Structure 1
Amino acid sequence: MVTAYLGLGANLGQPEQTLAAAVKAIRDWPDVEVCGVSRLYHSAPMGPQNQPDYCNAVLEIQTAQPAAGLLTLGQQTESAFGRVRREHWGARSLDIDVLLYGDAQIQTPSLRVPHPGLAERAFVVFPLMDLAPGLRLPGGQRLAAVAEQLQAEPLRRVQDWAP
């Protein structure tokens, strides 16, 4: 079993309800146990600003799935929630990213772990801090040190939730 972290995001429809439903769907993935769910964070979109704000969360899971299997399951779940891939920075009904997979560093055409830009994205780092404040990223960098560098980046609202 490997400890992995999944990033969830949505900004179309009712994103808070979508993320709660996505957590429930992930609980049904084969060989995946959801061990922790971060608080829910709201942030401005990356890329074009002419879209709704995002809701984001992170899940801690234990899994026997390979990282590529998590990617496939995530994309299948996104599709089930109406995700259509049109533009890189566009609005999304649901986004599921493999953020970390143990201490693996993976570089394939379809999957990069740790997720690119993880350390620059407060909407990923702070939910990760909720679950694993003592975490060291692959390569040894402390997550808490990364969070300190992002304090100035605003996350506009934080909520507790229990999907």
Structure 2
Amino acid sequence: MNDVYLSIGTNIGERYENLQHAIELLIGKERVEVVRISSIYETAAVGYTDQADFLNIVVYIRTSYSSSEMLKVCQAVENELGRVREFRWGPRIIDLDILLYNHENIETESLLVPHPRMYERAFVLVPLIEITPTPVGEQLQRAHETLKQLNCQEEGIMLWKESSDTRFMPSLK
């Protein structure tokens, strides 16, 4: 089985429901086990800033999918939820990114792991660290060290809903 960490974000429509639906679709996939879901964090947009704030989570899954197959699963979830790619860093109903795949470094035309901007973004690091309090492997250790250097208030990340609220994902009770 492969350990995979996904970042999921949304800033269009019913953001909370978008996150729930993405999780439900992942749970419904064969060969995907959703193990842990972070709290939900609200953050200002990065890159193109003239848009609504995002809700972001990190999800830890175990899967027998290869990294390229997992990318296809993520893209299928995005497509099913109506993701439209108008321009880079633009508003989106849902965005699933593979942050980490085992402890591997992957570089293909369509996939870079660890995610190339992961260590620059508190909205990724805070929920990732929340669900990995004991860092295992070089990539998670680097994430923990990097987060210590970031000022989350300056980065505009705020807790929106704690993961202990099982109403977020009742099927994980």
Alignment TM-score, normalising by the size of structure 1: 0.94
Query: Percent of counterpart pairs with the same letter?
Result: 35
SS at match of 1:89: coil
Q: Deviations over 1:122-153 (max 9, x none)?
A: 11000001110222454574332111111342
Code of the aligned partner of 1:128: L
Correspondence for 2:161 among 125, 150, 159: 159
**Structure 2: gaps of 5 or more residues:** none
Q: Is the 8 A contact 2:57 2:127 kept in 1?
A: yes
Aligned positions, number: 163
The CA distance in 2 between the partners of 1:123 and 1:134, in whole Å, is 19
**Structure 1: gaps of 5 or more residues:** none
Seen in structure 2, the aligned counterparts of structure 1 residues 12 and 139 have a Cα distance that, compared at 3 Å, is closer
> Higher helix share goes to which structure?
2
Q: Is the 8 A contact 1:136 1:143 kept in 2?
A: no
- Counterpart for residue 135 of structure 1: 135
Q: Is the 8 A contact 2:39 2:159 kept in 1?
A: no
Shift of 1:158: 3.2
- Counterpart for residue 149 of structure 2: 149
Mapping of residues 12-31 of structure 1, within 5 Å: 12-31=12-31
- Counterpart for residue 6 of structure 1: 6
The CA distance in 1 between the partners of 2:46 and 2:142, in whole Å, is 24
The CA distance in 2 between the partners of 1:111 and 1:72, in whole Å, is 11
SS at match of 2:119: helix
Between 7-16 and 152-161, the greater mean CA deviation after superposition:
152-161
- Counterpart for residue 110 of structure 2: 110
Alignment TM-score, normalising by the size of structure 2: 0.89
Superposed CA RMSD in Å reads 1.5
Seen in structure 2, the aligned counterparts of structure 1 residues 86 and 32 have a Cα distance that, compared at 3 Å, is same
Q: Deviations over 1:25-68 (max 9, x none)?
A: 10011211000000000000011221100000010011100011
